[in-house]
Amino acid sequence: MKLNDVYKIANELAPKSLSDAYCAACNGYDNSGVLVDTGDDIRGILFTLDLSFAAINKAIGMGANLIITHHPAMYGKINHARIDADDLTERKMVKCLRAGISVISMHLNLDCAVGGIDESLATGIWESAMKTNPQEGVFSRNLSLMHPIADGGYGRAYNVQETKLGALVSELKNTFETNRIIVYGDGEKQIDRVASFCGAGADEGAVLFAKREGAQVIISSDFKHHVLTMAIEMGMAVIILTHYASENYGMKEYYEKIRAQVELPCVYHTDENLL
């Protein structure tokens, strides 16, 4: 199977045009797409959130010559022609090249895609709330998007089955396979509307969006102190997942979708120390 064939499948699920649209709207920059192409036919694929040395070594061990990441293997603009093996990030690229491994990164496009990482985070939270207080019947999620883009978007507010903050946190630990959760708020606080943002999306605009949408709790990661205090002073509870846990859940779902469409050995790698 050719690299472009795999990328076509990956891009259909998370079109790069979503990344381009998000960057244009927010004046950002994103390295999504094919970052390393060795020109070889693909024999196996390793999926992972980050291009870590552990992930590269695992790919080498299983004979995979393509790694698909969420976070870009190189974040910034490449503004020099020389790859420096003394630089940590560039050393990983050198290791991939020497091992004959191609690299695809699907970042902001996968955050914003229908069924992508931000939506998966919200779905996991919604299902966690349901498990704390199972009820028959169907109720409206009343979904609002902070940044709607094409059919997808980033930043969500939605209804959940009424639950208590403490019970929700306990179930989130199971759903997102992490014990590293920081909570600000009374465990007895009643929750029936949530605002969530995968990764590092919790900024002042996110807090204002959550308050405007009537959320009693904001769930995200990487809160700056002034953003955290802003949310608390506006009367909302705050649940902080690790950046890794907030996105690994959705990346696994992306892996399952691609694995179902390629006739190649595929494996998912989790850096457990970051959950």
DSSP labels, 134-196: --SS------EEEEEETTEEEEEEEEEEEEEHHHHHHHHHHHTT-S--EEES-TT-EEEEEEE
Looking at residue 130, what is its pLDDT? Answer: 94
In this structure, what CATH number is given to the domain that contains residue 13?
3.40.1390.30
Sequence-ordered list of residues with C-beta below 8 angstroms from that of 178, at least 6 positions apart, any chain: 241, 242, 244, 245, 275
Average pLDDT over residues 151-167: 96
pLDDT of residue 27: 81
The reply to whether 105 and 118 lie within a common domain is: no
Specify the range with the lowest mean pLDDT, choosing from 27-41, 81-95, 165-179, 236-250. 81-95
What ranges in the chain are assigned the alpha helix state H?
3-13, 16-26, 53-62, 88-98, 108-112, 117-132, 165-175, 204-212, 225-233, 243-259
Are the C-beta atoms of residues 52 and 271 closer than 8 Å to each other?
A: yes
pLDDT band at 82 (very low <50, low <70, confident <90, very high): low
Whether residues 235 and 267 share a domain: the answer is: no
Identify the DSSP state of 46: E
pTM over 0.85? The answer is yes
- Please state the separation of Cα 19 from the chain's center in Å: 13
Residues 6+ apart with CB under 8 A from 201: 118, 154, 155, 220
pLDDT, position 26: 81
Give the pLDDT of residue 28.
Answer: 82
pLDDT at 65 over 90: yes
Tell me, yes or no, whether 17 and 52 share the same domain.
yes
Task: Determine the structural domain holding residue 104 and report its residue range.
Answer: 3-109+248-274
Residues 92 and 145 in one domain: no
Place of tokens 């496009």: 109
Share of the chain above pLDDT 70, in %: 96
Residue that wins the pLDDT comparison between 216 and 134: 216
CA distance 94 to 100: 10
The least confident of 52-61, 146-155, 177-186 is 146-155
> Is the per-residue pLDDT at 81 higher than 60?
no
Counting the structural domains of the chain, the total is: 2
Instruction: Output the pLDDT for position 203.
Output: 96
Residue 124 · residue 175 · CB < 8 Å: yes
Residue 52 has pLDDT above 60, yes or no: yes
Q: Is 191 found in the same domain as 263?
A: no
The answer to whether residues 68 and 157 belong to one domain is: no
Q: Tell me: do 185 and 261 sit in the same domain.
A: no
Average pLDDT value over all residues in the chain: 94
Select the more confidently predicted residue: 27 or 143.
143
Q: Do 139 and 229 share a structural domain?
A: yes
Does residue 236 sit in the same domain as residue 265? no
Lowest mean pLDDT among 14-28, 113-127, 167-181, 252-266: 14-28
Same domain, 10 and 119: no
Q: Same domain, yes or no, for 60 and 170?
A: no
Asked if residue 158 and residue 58 are part of one domain, the reply reads no
Q: Between 74 and 267, whose confidence is greater?
A: 267
Q: Which residue has the tokens 């695992």?
A: 58
The pLDDT of residue 89 is above 90: no
